[in-house]
């Protein structure tokens, strides 16, 4: 568990399933992903996140407002051992419900994750990536102090897919 002034990053609970499914089913929130997720797909994703946290002690955590306990989305770290040309690496990522956009919450949570990656996991570097069209996430990467390393085609998408071209950012933690 990680605490920030406004947020708690924690293991997933069954109470998170419905709001996370709502987030994953929102076409606007998912506009930079190939598709929205069904409830079953969203629940499967939570199960994978939960398992990763149980096994490693870290991962994509559920994020809630500490004061109210309201579910915000997910932010965290994820190993990418072999999927990408720049693997192995540890990725940082975020996905917040629309009602929590533009409040600095993703940056607050991501900053806490980078501190955790440096101080607890003793990582040298963390990467982040998104489609070239996702300027809000790319701008967050920049605000976090990450530097652009280049672009690549996401291996899970056909090269001609409009979301295939991605930017890659990294930050040195040493």
State the pLDDT at residue 80.
94
Say how many C-beta atoms besides its own lie within 10 A of residue 121's C-beta: 16
Say how many C-beta atoms besides its own lie within 10 A of residue 12's C-beta: 23
Residue 174: band (very low, low, confident or very high) from pLDDT cuts 50, 70, 90:
confident
State the pLDDT at residue 63.
98
Residue 47's closest CA among 90, 17, 69?
A: 17
Q: List, for residues 132-150, the tens digit of each pLDDT value.
A: 999 999 999 999 999 999 9
Residue 103: band (very low, low, confident or very high) from pLDDT cuts 50, 70, 90:
very high
pLDDT at 104 over 90: yes
Residue 54: band (very low, low, confident or very high) from pLDDT cuts 50, 70, 90:
very high
pLDDT at 163 over 90: yes
**What is the rounded distance in angstroms from the CA atom of residue 171 to the CA atom of residue 165?**
20
**What is the rounded distance in angstroms from the CA atom of residue 18 to the CA atom of residue 5?**
25
**79-98 mean pLDDT:** 95
The interaxial angle of helices 17-24 and 39-56, nearest 10 deg, is: 120
**What is the rounded distance in angstroms from the CA atom of residue 163 to the CA atom of residue 160?**
8
Q: Are 92 and 76 in contact (CB under 8 A)?
A: yes
Residue 110: band (very low, low, confident or very high) from pLDDT cuts 50, 70, 90:
very high
CA distances from 132 to 4, 101, 110, 113, 162 (A): 30, 19, 20, 23, 9
CA distances from 154 to 51, 68, 93, 157, 168 (A): 25, 37, 15, 6, 10
Residue 43: band (very low, low, confident or very high) from pLDDT cuts 50, 70, 90:
very high
State the pLDDT at residue 29.
95
pTM of the model: 0.94
Which one-letter DSSP state was computed for residue 69? -
Angle among Cα 112, 118, 122 to the nearest 5 degrees reads: 145
């Amino acid at each position: 568990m990680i605490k920030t002034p406004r947020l708690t990053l924690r293991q997933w609970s069954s109470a998170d399933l419905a709001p996370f499914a709502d987030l994953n089913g929102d076409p606007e929130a998912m506009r930079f992903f190939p598709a929205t997720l069904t409830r079953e797909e969203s629940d499967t994703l939570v199960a994978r996140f939960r398992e990763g946290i149980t096994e490693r002690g870290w991962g994509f955590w559920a994020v809630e407002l500490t004061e109210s306990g309201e579910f915000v989305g997910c932010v965290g770290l994820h190993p990418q051992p072999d999927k990408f040309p720049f693997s192995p690496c540890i990725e940082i990522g975020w996905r917040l419900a629309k009602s929590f956009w533009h409040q600095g919450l993703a940056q607050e949570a991501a900053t806490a994750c980078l501190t955790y990656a440096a101080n607890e996991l003793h990582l040298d570097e963390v990467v982040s990536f998104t489609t070239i069209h996702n300027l809000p996430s790319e701008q967050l990467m920049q605000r976090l102090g990450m530097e652009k390393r280049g672009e690549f085609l996401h291996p899970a998408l056909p090269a001609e897919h409009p979301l295939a071209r991605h930017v890659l950012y990294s930050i040195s933690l040493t």
